[in-house]
Amino acid sequence: MKKFLAYLIAAVMPLSAFATDYNQETFYKAFVKGDLTPWHDFIAEHSTISADSLPLLLDLEYNYLAWASNQKLSDNLLRLGLFKRHINQYEQSEHNESDLLAFRSAANVYSLSILEKPTLTNNLQALTFANDACKKNPGTRALMHRGFIYFYVPSYAGGSKEKALLYLRQAEKKYLKSKDDYNWNLLNTQQHIAQCLIKLGRTNEAKTYIKRILKQHPDFVFLKQLLEDLE
């Protein structure tokens, strides 16, 4: 089952600065259904944005490109180019260094998928940026992203499902303390934990874990499909 970064989702800021048609609930429900069309529409409408709202746009581009890279959409190269441009713009403005490194790490991984030119250099850069992000600030986003990178980077380039599971568990623990009703980041972290368990041969543990999450989030399409594949 090939799901290359299908739901790599980052934390998203409040949407009050943008059109009222978009809110966290809208993006959350789209994620749960496995259809990130609303992400595309929002990004397309806000390709140019003020510096103070740039972190939100980068978060959404980060999210959308993870999904789009698996879909092989026709405008992926355009979106990737804009994402990289916005990262550079973010670096020139007041920014969170840990977030900047996570964005750069993601851009390297998306390039591997969208450009279909996997290189050892890109993989190593993705790992370096992800590790440096955690050194700058071992917050939830940095831990989640670090887990994703160790999951997707091949073992010959330093990837590790064991390390991915460790960092994702740490991110999950932090997310569980939040009171956000529309925290797709928690769900995304949990579905990657399930994938790690499966890849590590811990199938029964994965089934138990998935069933527990689905009791709380019964409409989460990705975990429903993952469980069907296991049974």
- Tens digits of residue pLDDT in 164-204: 999 999 999 999 988 788 888 899 899 999 999 999 999 99
Q: How confident is the model at residue 72 (pLDDT cuts 50, 70, 90)?
A: confident
Query: Token match 């998935």: residue?
Result: 210
- Within 10 A of 231 (CB to CB), how many other CB atoms are there? 7
pLDDT tens string 18-34: 444 567 888 889 889 98
159 pLDDT tier (thresholds 50, 70, 90): very high
Pairwise CA distance, residues 126 & 42, whole Å: 26
* Cα(152)–Cα(193) distance, integer angstroms: 13
pLDDT at 117: 65
Contact 185, 11 (CB under 8 A): yes
Task: Return the pLDDT at 68.
Answer: 83
Q: Tell me the mean pLDDT in the region 113-120.
A: 72
Class of domain 24-230: mainly alpha
Q: Domain boundaries in the chain?
A: 24-230
Instruction: Give the pLDDT confidence score for residue 1 in this predicted structure.
Output: 40
